[in-house]
Structure 1
Amino acid sequence: MRLRRSLVALTLTAAVAAAPMTLTSPAFADTALDVATSEQVAPGVRLESFTTRSVSAAAVQGELLTVDLRNPHVSVDLLHPQSVAQANTVSRMANAQGAVAGVNGDFFNNTEAQHPGVAFTDSSDGPEIAGGRALKAAVPNGQRFGPGMPPGVTTQAVLGVGADGVGRLGVASLEGSVRINSTTRPLGGLNQYAIPVGGIGAYTSAWGATSRARSVCGTDTTRGAACSTDVAEVTLRLGRVVAVSGTVGAGAIAPDETVLVGREAGADALRSLTIGQHVAVHYNLSTGTGVPFRSAVGGFPILENGTVVPGQDAKAAAVRTGAGFSADGHEMFLVAVQPAPGVSGGMTTPEVAQLLQQAGAANAVNLDGGGSTTLVAWDPGADAVTVRNRPTDAAGERSVANGIGIFVK
């Protein structure tokens, strides 16, 4: 019996405590899920709190949001700070954007110890799409800050909702070009903290005022490699060159401006430009399916077509955030799990995949975990979200790069 079906008998009003219900599933052969409370956060959005045990028999607590994407009043979008290179807490982002619930999103660049003196950026590893608008693309695989991904998975992997209102896993790959001196070159980056070796990256007003210097550090295979010194930066205003520099700068970018940063061969191409010259820059994030994403966030797949993705780390138990969709993409599941008080550990990513499968998911991803794991929802009668899990970061709720927000008209 799946968790989703077992909750029908619970009273779905506001924070109604129910007698513990013990459930078993083949996914957790010897593990029971005890659902303690259920509440209707908003029409089409339900929140359950539960306890269970991991395969190692460690006690685990969790919160599960179930979202009905068929409800015409319900939508999903990216939670994000004012700029790509900043971070903020999930609760602040949700309240600022008017979400009724949400969780934290992708892994992000939260340390630069390997590059002393380089300005810090909180930008996420993977792509970001908000309201149908491409905010950023993915960093090269070797630059990723998060843990190892299953074989064959890239930083372009995302979970999102399409323009058709259907949730799905997929990729959001950068398709872009820069035309310089009658030569068209591929665009290697969009508002990301690392651009490919020899490439050119574009930065827009969405990036913010944070220094772009980190973008030329590391290589496509080694995050901690030294920063390149063979660099150039060009500022375009309405498609015309207004500045050419041999260093990578900082500062806010105007809405009518685009800053191009190049390294190695990309820097050579930018250095050939002169003031007043026209440069054409085009880009989009392609799904390869013909259905554009209305919203998307980076995360590596842990469950695909009802099967746990092979090659995952089945030993590392930790605090986790996961997200998934039903087989038809019409139901969304957001979960946060952590060890019970006084207990260490948590869940492995395969266990999170199995838990989401019990909830009704056929496809799911792993999101940033540990101190980043945060699940928020409206309190009954309130017009703002509060944190519903127990964040494990020493400072409390951690500032993160992005999140998944649930919105109800």
Structure 2
Amino acid sequence: MTVLTAWVSLVGGGTAWAGAGTGQVAARLGAASRVAPGVTYRTVSWHGGHGTTHGHLLTVDLRDDRVSLDLLYPGAVGARDTVSGMTERQGAVGGVNGDFFNITEVQHPGVRETGAPVGPAVADGHALKAAVPDGQRFGPAMPRGVDTEAVFGVDRDGVARMDRLSLEGSVRTEDDDLPLSGFNQYAIPVDGIGVFTPAWGRVSRKRAVCGTDAHRGAPCSDETYEVTVRRGRVAARSARPGKGPIASGSLVLVGREEGARELRRLAVGDRVSVDRYLRARKARGYDFAIGGFPVLRGGRQLSGLDGRTAAVRTAAGLADRGQRVYLLALDGRAAYRPGLTLTELARLMRAVGSVDAFNLDGGGSSTLVTRSPGSGHAVVRNHPSGGAERAVANGIGVFSGS
């Protein structure tokens, strides 16, 4: 079995190497440079099965009280922006792109992409959305035993973790208590009812009733219903999901199949309340969380990772009992880099010091930026595929006070 050596601590700059037990050089770290208190940046090189690839690494020390992580997002769930744009607007000192998202809709004529992410999202302690059904996700195949509820985040005790966030909630009417199965999601489970809040944004809700729990490209449901609830009472009804901003103090309920039949029973003026929250498995709650899937847990690769397909990758890792975070983005195809398989990504994240590691969206989305405190301009450190940043659904932002 190949065993990777530990990274050499650098004093005053220089480079460090990680090698295999055979003596073959496997990876190289460039000299670290300070971005802000508790945050450093350096380059990474790794020789994988498809050739040498290059990446960019932020190391974040959460033991420093001036440092924190939070969600970068465009101000709405159903929207996209560049990592540099979100970093500048939110005042982060660094960031990487985040979750996979609803980017193309070739299977559903007349339905536009929403830009909404696949997994759960929590920003500044507030839940923004829950996970879509597994069959509705975008991205590569996940390892065995993992689903779309997987998150990487920082809990309320300031500890970085990999976890799962499950939606729990109900729609309470004057006559019934109905299960809630969606929360600001671009795909609602078959027979389900989903709630959309003002955080969803302006984009159409029609995509939410397309596909099935097992097949993203299945036709849109022909049995749907939408109810607008304003200040606790039904204010409007429609046979089709709508679009446009949702007013403050209002909610929109969208149902499909059995969920649509239940919503159709409501009349204008009926009282309705909606309870919703994201339940964590390992923590009492999260200040920040983002979707993706784990590739390394307890220093071991997860079973079922793809070891054949090389691609440009973005990942987040953690060490020191969740007090140290590593954010990695590879150079893209425009830089003629071959990328890594998921098994190679897990090995690289372990080599740079991660005990646990989490795969994020890659390909043309992979982006890592830094911004000097006091500067309004974020610098893209990697070379994104296509030669320019792609607008993405969200990202991980690094925040640091002086």
TM-score (ref. length: structure 2):
0.95
Map of 1:136-175 to 2, 5 A cutoff?
136-175=129-168
More displaced stretch, 210-219 vs 113-122: 113-122
Q: Give the equivalent residue in structure 2 for 1:24.
A: 19
Map of 1:4-403 to 2, 5 A cutoff?
5-11=7-13, 18=14, 20-26=15-21, 30-56=24-50, 58-338=51-331, 343-379=336-372, 382-393=375-386, 396-403=388-395
> Runs of 5+ in structure 2 lacking a partner?
none
> Runs of 5+ in structure 1 lacking a partner?
12-17
Which secondary structure state, in structure 2, belongs to the residue aligned with residue 235 of structure 1? Answer: strand
Q: Give the equivalent residue in structure 1 for 2:399.
A: 407
Alignment partners' CA distance in 2, 1:298 and 1:209? 22
- CA spacing shift, 1:177–1:90, aligned 2, 3 Å: same
Alignment partners' CA distance in 1, 2:163 and 2:308? 26
**What is the deviation of 1:340?**
8.5
Q: Is the 8 A contact 2:296 2:357 kept in 1?
A: yes
Q: Is the 8 A contact 1:142 1:221 kept in 2?
A: yes
TM-score (ref. length: structure 1):
0.93
**What is the deviation of 1:69?**
0.6
**What is the deviation of 1:47?**
0.5
Q: Is the 8 A contact 1:31 1:54 kept in 2?
A: no
Which secondary structure state, in structure 2, belongs to the residue aligned with residue 328 of structure 1? Answer: helix
Aligned residues: CA RMSD:
1.9
**What is the deviation of 1:4?**
7.6
Give CA-to-partner distance per residue, 1:234-279, whole Å, 9 cap, x none: 0001111000111111110012000000001100111100111111
Which secondary structure state, in structure 1, belongs to the residue aligned with residue 31 of structure 2? Answer: strand
Q: Which amino acid aligns with 2:400?
A: V
Which secondary structure state, in structure 2, belongs to the residue aligned with residue 295 of structure 1? Answer: strand
Which secondary structure state, in structure 2, belongs to the residue aligned with residue 398 of structure 1? Answer: coil
Alignment partners' CA distance in 2, 1:29 and 1:238? 67
**What is the deviation of 1:95?**
0.6
Q: Which amino acid aligns with 1:40?
A: R
Q: Is the 8 A contact 2:101 2:117 kept in 1?
A: yes
Alignment partners' CA distance in 1, 2:335 and 2:225? 53
Q: Which amino acid aligns with 1:23?
A: A
Alignment partners' CA distance in 1, 2:70 and 2:335? 35
**What is the deviation of 1:351?**
1.1
Alignment partners' CA distance in 1, 2:364 and 2:311? 10
Alignment partners' CA distance in 2, 1:302 and 1:354? 9
Which secondary structure state, in structure 2, belongs to the residue aligned with residue 357 of structure 1? Answer: helix
Alignment partners' CA distance in 2, 1:279 and 1:295? 29
